[in-house]
Structure 1
Amino acid sequence: MYTYSTIDSDKKLSDLLQSWKQRGITTIAMDFEGEFNLHIYGEHLCLVQVFDGELYYILDPFKVSVPALKQFLEDSDLEKIMFDCASDSALVRKGYDISLANIYDIRVPALALGYTGNLTGLVAMHLGVQDEVPVGNKKKNQMTNWLKRPLKDDQIQYALGDVAYLFSLKKILIALIEEKGLAEQVATTMATIAKPKGPDKPGWTKFDSWKYMNKEEKTYLKHFFIARDTIARKYNVPAVRILEKHRLLEMAKNTPSSASEIHVYCTKCPEGQMEELIKYMLEAKKSADSELKSV
């Protein structure tokens, strides 16, 4: 069991940062828990778990202000060890205008050494520690609602487990990459690991089949996607509860032209939003038709 302190105010975070300076701590292990269109609309940072090599902390981003969080996460003098920071960095960049700074992502040296698995496997491989969380409970925690407060102790213990071994792994992996002459390659990748690879792409372009779609299909998909998400945002529900992704694709390829034809695709939409969704979809089709005609 991990003993931890809770950081639930700007003052507590400021005091923690000051204590690290006084203790000479310049590196921490860090991970996030978030909401990704599972229980409500959109992506939200729900928890920051931290280990400073001696003590554990959970930071509540619902109680700490964005400016205070930004100062902490963008501190270039404080190294943050993470595992696979890509989605976490994108989450705070897009949702909070925060650019993670001074990240050591242990997945980078792991990949350089040929390892492509998850953190649990990496810990087992190099530290001989087997995951003590039963598979069922692990899946439950991965699907948990991190928005709810208070968090249960098993949620917190699960979250802290993701930072417990990062210091030890970093030390081992650094030694291995130096032994194999990969240090320079890893350093080059690490320098930009938390930065976007390019402009953030809109959601409708992230469909696996996007690159295989023709111009008309892409245009309809874009407008149908926007209409679907407008409804989801309005009622603060996951977009898939309004209309599933595969239904959007079907509509883009076999474009409906009437309310009754649209209704056929809306099998998952709650009755209370059905009429509104059909209205938005009809308007979306008109917008797509206009865009295609103007080209």
Structure 2
Amino acid sequence: MHIHPLITDSAMLADLCARLAKSDFITVDTEFMRESTYWPELCLIQVGDEKEAAAIDPMASGLDMQPLLDLLVDNEDVLKVFHAGGQDLEIIHNLTGKTPHPLFDTQVAAMALGMGEQIGYSNLVESMLGVQLDKGARFTDWARRPLDARQIDYAIGDVTHLAKLFPKMLNRLRKTGRGDWIDGEMERLADPATYANDPEIAWTKIRINSKKPEVLGRLKAIAAWREREAQGKDLPRGRLAKDETLADIASHPPKTQAELAKVRGLPASWAGNDIGGRLMNAIANAKPLPDSEMPAKDDKRPGLGKEAALVADLLKLLLKIRARDANVASKLLARSDDLELLAAGRRQGIALLEGWRYDVFGKDALALVEGRTGFSVKDGRLVMSELAAEETNDDA
């Protein structure tokens, strides 16, 4: 494989992208800094295929990144391969308003191949390629210039190994017939809505116990206020105010700006400065959350009674058994929220009761909640056993 020197020239980048556009797939990775900012700062982007790879310096003066961005988000003929690409995709979305498509994430593929829920890149490379990666440059300052040779070699290694991993994983998926298992996850990753930082829905990511419309309305208003302040100041949202502080303010709103000095988690100076004033305006102008936006009672937790909660626990046990038997990450089969919905009596709109998930796990989960199967121990292993008709009719 040919490894290019660090690309800082527009003509060289355009030539590279023209060649990569003819490939069946390209591998992509980024290096960025975001510890002290709202928006991640792109410091390096690496791309390659089976023949060549390069690191590109987006901080280089005068570099025209458009050919690369066009390749990533507008070329539907080239598959883009990432590993745990969520933050890489967020950066690309921030730059273009689009996401790469089609795409393949090797961490998601590893879930279908029974390699764990969130296998790290170095562990995956060592497992499948027998190569131990140098992790020394992992937490380097990628914004510092000039980058040294070790940093660039480390960065390019991420896409060169990925170019070898992808065909191997694709072959395993084909042999096991599990390619379809990850299609939905890949489409979710490629959905631009996943990365939209919309202030109006920021409140939905904050945990709060109250379900009162007036409380949730305040939470929506102040979460949107925080999002806009963080975006405008380019500061991490948690540096302005933590989620639990917003939840406390929504539940127990201060009546005057002076009372902000007593709110745990807020600077005392907010009791008299402009940012505190804008927060108070957001509180004052908040309206009760309309019925159309109220979370359904079973969106998060269905309010399980004691018996249904026990059934949910049994479903989680069954999930572990079926994930073990199928050699697949349990997270890919079903999520806890869906198990609770099933235990509470829901049958529609649950992913585990559709498609391949139904065949691998859903049909057994349904049989368990309907009393047609139970647990038993065989040769020291916990297994599912079909209950005899007379057992299921005991209460008739």
For Structure 1 versus Structure 2, the TM-score category normalised by the shorter chain is 0.7 to 0.9
Q: 1:12 to 1:270 in 2, by over 3 A?
A: farther
Map 1:263-278 onto structure 2 (within 5 A).
263-265=261-263, 267=265, 269=267, 275-278=273-276
Amino acid at match of 1:176: R
Letter in 2 for 1:128: G
Q: Which structure 2 residues correspond to residues 198-277 of structure 1 after superposition, within 5 A?
A: 200=196, 202-207=201-206, 209=207, 213-265=211-263, 267=265, 269=267, 275-277=273-275
Q: Which residue of 2 aligns with 1:52?
A: 49
Q: Which has more radius of gyration? A: 2
Residue 279 of structure 1: CA displacement? 0.7
Instruction: Give deviations 1:222-247, integer Å, cap 9, x for gaps.
Output: 22223334433443333322222322
Distance 1:127-1:223 versus aligned 2 partners, 3 A rule: same
- Pair 173,233 (structure 1): closer, same or farther in 2 beyond 3 Å: closer
Identity %: 23
Query: How big is the alpha-carbon RMSD for the aligned residues of Structure 1 and Structure 2?
Result: 3.4
For residue 30 of structure 1, report the CA deviation from its aligned partner.
1.0
Partner of 1:221, secondary structure, is: helix
Q: Which has the higher contact order (CA 8 A, sep 6+)?
A: 1
In the other structure, the counterpart of 2:383 is none
- Residues 1-295 of structure 1: pairs in structure 2 closer than 5 A: 4-20=4-20, 25-36=23-34, 38-63=35-60, 64-65=63-64, 67-73=66-72, 74-115=74-115, 116=117, 117-134=119-136, 138=138, 140-141=139-140, 144=141, 146-186=142-182, 190=186, 193-196=189-192, 200=196, 202-207=201-206, 209=207, 213-265=211-263, 267=265, 269=267, 275-288=273-286, 291-292=287-288
My pick for the range that moved more, 56-65 or 2-11, is: 2-11
User: Which residue identity does 1:48 align to in structure 2?
Assistant: I
Q: Is the 8 Å Cα contact of residues 34 and 45 (structure 1) preserved in structure 2?
A: yes
TM-score, normalised with respect to structure 2: 0.60
Q: CA deviation at 1:186?
A: 4.4
Give, in angstroms, the shift of residue 100 of structure 1. Answer: 0.7
Task: Please say if residues 4 and 56 of structure 1, whose CA atoms lie closer than 8 Å, have aligned partners that are also in contact.
Answer: yes
Q: Aligned equivalents of 2:266 and 2:172: distance in 1?
A: 51
Which deviates the most, 275-284 or 74-83? Answer: 74-83
Unpaired segments of 5 or more residues in structure 1? none
The 1:175/1:78 distance shift into structure 2, 3 A limit, reads closer
> Which letter maps to 2:50?
G
Gaps of 5+ in 2: 292-396
Whole-Å separation in 2 of the counterparts to 1:293 and 1:171: 49
TM-score (norm 1): 0.78
